[in-house]
Amino acid sequence: MGIEARLIKQKIGVEITGINLSQPQSDDMLSEIRRLWVDHVVAVFPGQIVNDDQHIAFSQRLGELELINMAALQCEGRPEIYEATNLDKDGNIMTDDHPILTINRGNQKWHSDSSFKAVPATASMLHAYIVPEEGGQTEFANMAAAYEALDAETKELCEGLTAIHDFYWSRRDVEEQAFTKAERDAIPPARHPLIRLHPETGRKAIYVGSHTREIEGWNFAESRALIERLIVHGTGPEFTYRHDWEVGDMVLWDNRSALHRGLAFDDQREKRRLHRTTIAGTGTTL
């Protein structure tokens, strides 16, 4: 019995069943998974029984992995995995002022993983271990579909513009304490096209999010106005999918054409732990 694919929404998302990601996949199967994921931007694999090593092994078939360069965010002993959690190493809920919670709450803004790097990420894959009873969903937006829906005047305005992405801009409203100076210095602002060409599909996508600080050469206020307008447009209901997590779910998304954000939950009462791998980019965007 082969895999089955079910369209989640017309413009974003496909659910893939009939596959066991804990086992090695054939080249043909991997090619089909990649086609479905790239075509639909987000691929959901429900009910997977997968450990961290198997998660890493599958992700590596899609490309070289980024190493999490901020030690505070790494899964212990596995620098390939970012641990999105409100739990300490003993499984207890972190205090409200814990610096890791500060970072994770920042992920409640619409963003594309690693857009603050000169070579941004290709994809991310998140695996749910512990999920809260209420809240904590993840939303995704298809920014390629959003670009196609722009009016001709806005497309012309955006063409050829370069944006500055800065991790610390997206964290400007909090006091970061979890990173060392060396870690901060390792990720200076990066330049990317405002409208990005997808290297596999050839589709154009709006490439802005919470890390996007300003448009190069523009007045700052005008920069912010256009960036915010594009984010609001791209995250409209016709372009977005909200995933309600169940333990064992794995979700793979394309950072080249998607924004995502984690929704809030009561992180002082409920537990949440998800592990993410990040497939590295293969080149600069400009």
pLDDT score at 179? 63
- Residue 156: CB atoms within 10 A of its CB come to 10
Q: pTM to 2 decimals?
A: 0.94
pLDDT tens figures, 37-94: 999 999 999 999 999 999 999 999 999 999 987 766 778 788 999 999 999 999 999 9
More confident residue, 164 or 179: 164
Q: Which residue has the tokens 């990005």?
A: 196
| CB 196 within 8 Å of CB 221 | no
Tokens at residue 239, please?
A: 């372009």
Residue 285 lies in a domain: no
What is the DSSP track for 168-231?
Answer: HHHTTTS---SS-HHHHHTS--EEEESEEEPTTT--EEE---TTEEEETTS-HHHHHHHHHHHH
pLDDT score at 93? 97
Alpha-carbon distance of 121 to 196, in angstroms, equals 13
More confident residue, 99 or 21: 21
Residue 262 lies in a domain: yes
* CATH classification at residue 85: 3.60.130.10
Sign of CA dihedral 55, 138, 120, 100: negative
- Overall average pLDDT of the 104-113 stretch: 91
Of 110-119, 166-175, 219-228, minimum mean pLDDT range: 166-175
Residue 133 lies in a domain: yes
Give residue 174's domain range. Answer: 4-279
- Overall average pLDDT of the 146-161 stretch: 98
Total count of domains within the chain: 1
pLDDT score at 250? 98
pLDDT score at 229? 98
